[in-house]
Structure 1
Amino acid sequence: MGPRGAPLLAVLLVLGLYALVEGQKPSPCQCSRITPQNRKTCGNLGITSKQCFNLGCCFDSSISGVPWCFLPLPNQESEQCVMEESARKNCGYPGMSPEECAVRNCCSSNLSSDVPWCFFPQSVEDCHY
């Protein structure tokens, strides 16, 4: 490759890195299952929905007085398991193994010790953008 090909290669490299850094749009459950009062701001004032989704965040401008671009709920193995911790209904017992939780067709997440880590799934019919 000659000296003229180097700038083209640099541009392609930058575009490729940008594509890797650009966020993925969160799942509908990660966005619609977070209560408005628990939204944490993501992005700046006046951000568009496309810019917000490109950051990997949720966008909902239907409620005034709360952030429109906000951080999503943590991703789970199944959409049925994506919910706020306060919405979890216990499906297990102390000392239960993850395998026993799975046998009960329940969700598990040990990110917080203050809430049930083995909990019942929710239908995804209520998830939307």
Structure 2
Amino acid sequence: MQISRKKHHFKFKNKLTWTKHTLKYGSLGFKIIKCICIIDKQEEFLKLLIIKTLKKITNSKGKILFYSNQFYNKTKLPLESRMGKGKGEIICSFSYYKTGFILFELKGFDLIDALKLKTYLNNKKIIKFSLIY
């Protein structure tokens, strides 16, 4: 499924008291501790890292539910362009996640396996997570 990419202006207010997300489908969830901006390549790397580490940690077959969305596009004009020529070409898409956003949920995994995954991901220093159950 190909999503049409539009050029948006980035209008977002940083609120640190936002805690509206709760678990929807899974029994364990990973909540983001700090506000962060992630580009699409970093998000794909994070998904692959989560899947590979869960295969190493546990033998149980469960589901991983990702709640990621790339709404914003990063644009850049060529080097020697003058003003009034528009916004430029789309380089990559990114998403901005607030504090308290549940990035992914686990369904069918043990709490011990989720704790091991949380410590592994927090040691990688990509994103800091807290565990919700």
TM-score w.r.t. the length of structure 2 is 0.22
Greater per-residue helix proportion: 1
From the CA coordinates, give the structure whose radius of gyration is larger: 1
Greater per-residue strand proportion: 2
Q: Which has the higher contact order (CA 8 A, sep 6+)?
A: 2
